Amino acid sequence: MDVLQTDVVIVGAGGAGLRAAIAVAEADPALSVTLISKVYPMRSHTVAAEGGAAGVIKENDSLENHFNDTIGGSDWLADQDAVEFFVEQAPKELTRLEHWGCPWSRDPDGRVAVRPFGGMKIERTWFAADKSGFHILHTLFQTSMKYPSIKRLDEYYTTDLLLEDGRAVGVLSHEMRSGKPVVVLGKAVILCTGGAGRVFPFTTNGAIKTGDGMAMAYRAGVPLQDMEFVQYHPTGLPGTGILISEAARGEGGILVNKDGYRYLQDYGMGPADPWPRKKAMELGPRDRLSQSFWQEQQKGRTIQSKWGDVVHLDLRHLGEKKINERLPFIRDLAKSYVGVDVVTAPIPVRPVIHYTMGGIASDITAGTPLPGLFCAGETACVSINGANRLGSNSLAELLVFGKVAGEAAARLARSVPAPSEASALAQAKAHRARAEALVDGSRGTEAVATIRRDMMATMESGCGIYRTQEGLEQTCTTLRDLRRRYRDVKISDRSWVFNTDLTQALELGAMLEIAETMALSALLRTESRGAHQRLDHPQRDDAGFLTHSMAWRQGDEPPRIDYKPVTITKSQPAARVYGGAAS
């Protein structure tokens, strides 16, 4: 088996991974970086982010405002030291990206423009029309090419972390186009592998978002934190789940039910006018908006469409000029996928799975409980997002903590010796044997597609916008059964050249474990907070649950869940206030 010795190993080449790689290269050009990704960097899902990235830059704003919005948005589950650091660093990172060529939209005077976003008291979201993630990703990717110390392994699928004396010392990957395994050893490992929205059937997430890195860390004994908090974005296209950016509401779009009524005023977001108004109505936080849809649906006030129940997102009053300038992608997507020209008709939308607030337990240093292992981006739970992430904080987060992770890994790499090959190779061979058994000797009977479909179905039925004990118990039972069936998974493809049957099977293995942490953490959190809403426990319970849940893997058994206190520095838990009371 080939062994590659490097200083810093990074898995995942989306926004966070690329930012981390550049940080290492800038910290010390003598350090070698190996950046591994299962797709070419520009395919990473950062590409699909639309609305923008939050960072305080305008004179009418302050870091304290951004801090308070984020903490309130998180329903006080975010760690306040991390949020304070995050809001300080975000503007610097966004400016740095500007220097690297990101085509941010501009004010008439040539300065960077900002737009309002949900749950934010003041407009502070930097944007590049409505393809902000696309431009951030491509800017980072193109910039990364100028650093000779960054060596990429594109389309290498990473299956396992390798350990030595309780430290992360590398990974086992295989080149997808040949199937050839490679052990990549380093003095530090950074996971930037994104979220796991694909455990649900209806999601904005691309096919690649299968939580591989979360599962890798989890299997290596690292806890997954706050996994019950999964964000529904309130406005996805029905049928496909394609994201219709919050920017559509930031620019003034409104949501109406079948009576043409702006129903959000019935759920603590009103009054409806004056409009637009920050932190009110359509500019409320995503959890509240998605929950309001569900409530409207219960009342029979949503709109019946051929794709099921929807509400209407109306942008007509913005006018064609503004729509073309600020929301051209939205116009294109709506036209292509639901046949609606947003200039002349409202868009049918419904809530859709969008983001995993939870992830690998991490902190302000981007470190994890496993020495030598760092993480950043959606795969990490720092946590700056707590129980509900505010729109436009995630793009800023992957920059801020991508850089932190890269710099921390660089520091570590300069201070520890290179790991030995023998122990890592032995582990790698054991891991590799499982993949080889799947491809060369599989006699399984359970189709990947069937188990995956059943997993998605049970996650949607039990782990959706509103949850109950009964539903969650059912989902936990089903997932346990699916994990058992997965042990008999069938791979029909016997080739080692670009075997996507194998890739999908490995991804499914990761997703099943992640789904189980989500469902069990949700079952045990007998309160309602942010994106986790229990019909049988409708109140927030600060005495019992102002804590991060930590899921620890227990082999084939369901995870053990314990709890870690939330870091509170200057903002004591209070009621979340939106609408008229917020202004």
Cα(58)–Cα(502) distance, integer angstroms: 50
125 contacts other proteins (rule: CB under 8 A): no
| Residue 142 touching other proteins (CB under 8 A) | yes
For other proteins, the closer of residues 460 and 473 by Cβ is 460
Q: Which of 4, 48, 63, 416 binds other proteins (CB under 8 A)?
A: 48
Among 5, 62, 65, 240, binds other proteins (CB under 8 A): 240
Least distance (Å) from other proteins to the CB of residue 94? 9
Q: Tokens standing for 68?
A: 């308070």
Is the peptide bond prior to 271 cis by the omega test (within 30 degrees of 0)?
yes
Cα 483 from chain centroid (whole Å): 24
In degrees and rounded to multiples of 5, residue 60 shows phi and psi of -80, 5
| Residue corresponding to tokens 């979360």 | 214
317 binds other proteins (CB under 8 A): no
Q: Is 177 in the site for other proteins (CB under 8 A)?
A: yes
Residue 59 lies near other proteins (rule: CB under 8 A): no
Measured from the CB atom, the residue of 482 and 551 that comes closer to other proteins is 482
Interaction between residue 106 and other proteins (CB under 8 A): yes
Closest distance to other proteins from the beta carbon of 267 (Å): 29
Distance CA 227, CA 356 (A): 7
User: What is the nearest approach in angstroms of other proteins to the Cβ of residue 323?
Assistant: 16
**Is residue 497 near other proteins by the rule CB under 8 A?**
yes
- Position 131 contacts other proteins (CB under 8 A): yes
CB-count burial class (<10 Å; 0-12, 13-18, 19+) for 26 = middle
Q: How many chain residues bind other proteins (CB under 8 A)?
A: 64
The least CB distance from residue 342 to other proteins, in Å, is 16
Binding of residue 43 to other proteins (CB under 8 A): yes
Structure tokens at 330: 């939205």
**Is the torsion defined by CA of 231, 234, 235, 239 positive or negative?**
positive
Shortest distance (Å) from residue 96 CB to other proteins: 5
- Nearer to other proteins (CB atom), residue 452 or residue 483: 452
- Burial annotation 426-462 (CB, 10 A radius, 16+ → b, else e): ebbeebbeebeebbeebebebebeebbebbbebbbeb
Distance between CA 353 and CA 531 in Å, rounded? Answer: 11
Would you count residue 146 as binding other proteins (CB under 8 A)?
A: yes
491 is a site residue for other proteins (CB under 8 A): yes
Which residues are 447's β-sheet partners? Answer: 490
Per CB under 8 A, the segment of 347-355, 364-372, 475-483, 500-508 that binds other proteins is: 500-508
Contact status, residue 216 vs residue 159, Cβ threshold 8 Å: yes
Nearer to other proteins, 3 or 449 (CB): 449
Supply the residues annotated as catalytic.
Answer: 286
Q: In the set 30, 64, 320, 336, which binds other proteins (CB under 8 A)?
A: 336
466 contact partners, CB below 8 Å, separation of at least 6: 291, 294, 533, 534, 535
**HSE of 422, CA atoms in CB hemisphere, 13 A:** 1
371 near other proteins (CB under 8 A): no
Span near other proteins by CB under 8 A; candidates 44-52, 260-268, 297-305, 359-367: 44-52
From 62-70, 138-146, 518-526, 540-548, span contacting other proteins (CB under 8 A): 138-146
Residue 341 in contact with other proteins, rule: CB under 8 A: no
Q: How far is the CB of 99 from other proteins (least distance, A)?
A: 6
Work out which of 3, 30, 92, 299 binds other proteins, going by CB under 8 A: 92
The one-letter amino acid code at 134 reads F
Cα distance between residue 515 and residue 182, in whole Å: 29
Does position 4 interact with other proteins (CB under 8 A)? The reply is no
Q: Secondary structure of 304-355 in the HEC alphabet?
A: EECCEEEEEEECHHHCHHHHHHHCHHHHHHHHHHHCCCCCCCCEEEEEEEEE
**Helix extents (H) in 147-285:** 212-219, 247-250
* Residue of 355, 386, 387, 381 lying closest to 366 (CA atoms): 381
Smallest gap from Cβ 399 to other proteins, in A, equals: 12
78 binds other proteins (CB under 8 A): no
115 near other proteins, rule: CB under 8 A: no
**Strand, helix or coil at 42?**
helix
Query: Under 8 Å CB-to-CB from 161, ≥6 apart: which residues?
Result: 168, 170, 171, 189, 216, 217, 219, 220, 373
CA distance 471 to 523: 9
Amino acid symbol at 72: G
Q: How far is the CB of 61 from other proteins (least distance, A)?
A: 15
Q: Among residues 2, 110, 415, 543, which is the contact residue for other proteins, using CB under 8 A?
A: 110
Please choose, out of 29-37, 447-455, 510-518, 571-579, the segment that lies near other proteins by the rule CB under 8 A: 447-455
With CB under 8 A as the contact rule, which of the stretches 234-242, 247-255, 290-298, 367-375 interacts with other proteins? 234-242
In contact, 174 and 157? CB cutoff 8 Å: yes
Instruction: Please identify, using beta-carbon distances, which residue of 40 and 487 lies nearer to other proteins.
Output: 40
Alpha-carbon torsion, ordered 385, 235, 302, 315, to 10 deg: 130
- By C-beta, is 302 or 503 nearer to other proteins? 503
The pair phi, psi for residue 527, each rounded to 5°, is -155, 175
Q: Is 482 in the site for other proteins (CB under 8 A)?
A: no
Residue ranges that bind other proteins, judged by CB under 8 A: 39-40, 42-45, 47-48, 92, 95-96, 98-101, 103-106, 108-112, 131, 134-135, 138, 142-143, 145-146, 154, 177-180, 206-208, 239-240, 242-243, 307, 329, 332-333, 336-337, 447-449, 491-493, 495-501, 504
